[in-house]
Structure 1
Amino acid sequence: MLMLKVLIADDHAVVRQGLAYLINGQPDFKVVSEAANGTDAYARVEQGNIDILVMDLSMPPGESGLVTTQRIHEHFPDVKILILSMHEEQEYINKAIHNGALSYILKSSPDSELISGLNALSANRRYIDQNITLSKSDIKQIEAGGVDAHLQGYRSLSKREREVFPLMALGYTNKEIANRLFISTKTVEAHKASIMHKLSLNSRPELVRYAVHHHLIEF
């Protein structure tokens, strides 16, 4: 069996180190890269050579892991996503799976649950932590294909605009955004104007409220 290449995304270095030790101790998996936030995780997946992404949902400050999950699943559907999170709320679980995660494991669960999740992913099977119970209504919510009317504007944003969006909401300057995304400040200004227009927003406070309300960023 081929060694599956794993990317770990978590904002705590000590957690990434512990996960890497655990995962590298398994015969069929090898951690090849790490990321501290959703934006960097997406950028690393974009570079290629990643089979499985093990990712936290909360990696402040920046893009919510729920959004990163959706973006990666949309553009790189062959990358299998395992969410490892402290969030036990059903809303997060349902949304993560709906957005493309193939496995959801709680950080409070024993290591064996993570290993079970990885093994299931290697066999192209979904795996939900045994400490999580999905009701019929949860499954219905996960499988719902409709688009949230309030997020239609967000879904119309381009790939680059979705990268600018969380940095804009967090108050990064045009120069800081330009340096981070390797684009010009004029391009940043154009993206910002387009974002505000598509979301029908008039100010940054409105943008921040929109982002927080829809779980699009983490502070």
Structure 2
Amino acid sequence: MYNVLIADDHAVVRFGLSYLVNQQPNFTVVGEEANGTDTYLRVEQGDVNILIMDLSMPPGESGLITTKRIHEKFADVRILILSMHEEQEYINKALHNGAMSYILKSSSDSELLKALTALSNGQNYVDSNIKISKDDISKINSDGVDVKLKGYSVLSKRECEVLPLIVLGYSNKEVAAELFISTKTVEAHKASIMRKLHLKSRAELIRYAVHHNLIDL
């Protein structure tokens, strides 16, 4: 039996996906989340085999970033992106960041079910309505890192979780409650983030996060 986690910011979408997945033999939905931070924390519990996730779950961390963080820390979790974004740039980045499958929300249920079957067999699956060129494959396989994001890449797991909450205006107390840490720890993470990214104010941090698509507002 494959345990499936569903992450989408729309409750009706989560309900529909849960119903569809639970009807399939060998698949069961073990949880639902509405944003990137909570999705990562749920995966961290260790019982998720397959993650079906949207790329845009505002307000909060970009799904592309969540995909990368989960893949790097929990490589055994098979990630299926279900998104309205049909732009090749999104598709390439998602696959590059560790997604095994990319399905368009505009496609039929059969595409999602094909993807689930493929993932259960350890195989990649890209929506049949998406055409990937040799140039796209090159971009997906490229291990080049955006120089401007080198600072972000050295943030700790917890700092990556704190950053979008700061940008969204959460107070230290609210961040602490969300992540189950102390306010002093939140303050320490905030100081470390600003130092590593060479930023001096929350306004600069907001510009940085928006410019690099680290969050969805």
Q: Mean Cα displacement is larger for which, 175-184 or 102-111?
A: 175-184
Q: Which residue of 1 aligns with 2:106?
A: 108
Following TM superposition, by how much is the alpha carbon of 1:180 offset from its aligned partner in structure 2, in angstroms? 1.1
| Aligned-residue CA RMSD (Å) | 0.8
Q: Which residue of 1 aligns with 2:47?
A: 49
Structure 2 Cα separation of the partners of residues 130 and 65 of structure 1: 22
Q: How many residues align?
A: 217
Structure 2 Cα separation of the partners of residues 138 and 209 of structure 1: 29
% identity of equivalent residues: 71
Q: 1:169 aligns with which of 164, 167, 173?
A: 167
Following TM superposition, by how much is the alpha carbon of 1:181 offset from its aligned partner in structure 2, in angstroms? 1.1
TM-score (norm 2): 0.98
Deviating beyond 6 angstroms after TM superposition, the runs of 4 or more aligned structure 1 residues are none
Structure 2 Cα separation of the partners of residues 102 and 217 of structure 1: 22
Following TM superposition, by how much is the alpha carbon of 1:182 offset from its aligned partner in structure 2, in angstroms? 1.4
Q: 2:152 aligns with which of 151, 154, 166?
A: 154
3-state SS of paired residue (2:103): strand
Structure 1 Cα separation of the partners of residues 168 and 183 of structure 2: 17
CA deviations 1:80-103 (Å, max 9, x no partner) are 000000011111111100000000
* Alignment of 1:98 onto 2:60: no
Structure 2 Cα separation of the partners of residues 183 and 79 of structure 1: 25
Q: Which residue of 1 aligns with 2:206?
A: 208
* Alignment of 1:82 onto 2:80: yes
* Structure 1 residue identity aligned to 2:41: A
3-state SS of paired residue (1:7): strand
Structure 2 Cα separation of the partners of residues 181 and 16 of structure 1: 23
Which 5+ residue runs of structure 1 have no aligned equivalent? none
TM-score (norm 1): 0.97
Q: Equivalences for 1:174-193 in 2 at 5 Å?
A: 174-193=172-191
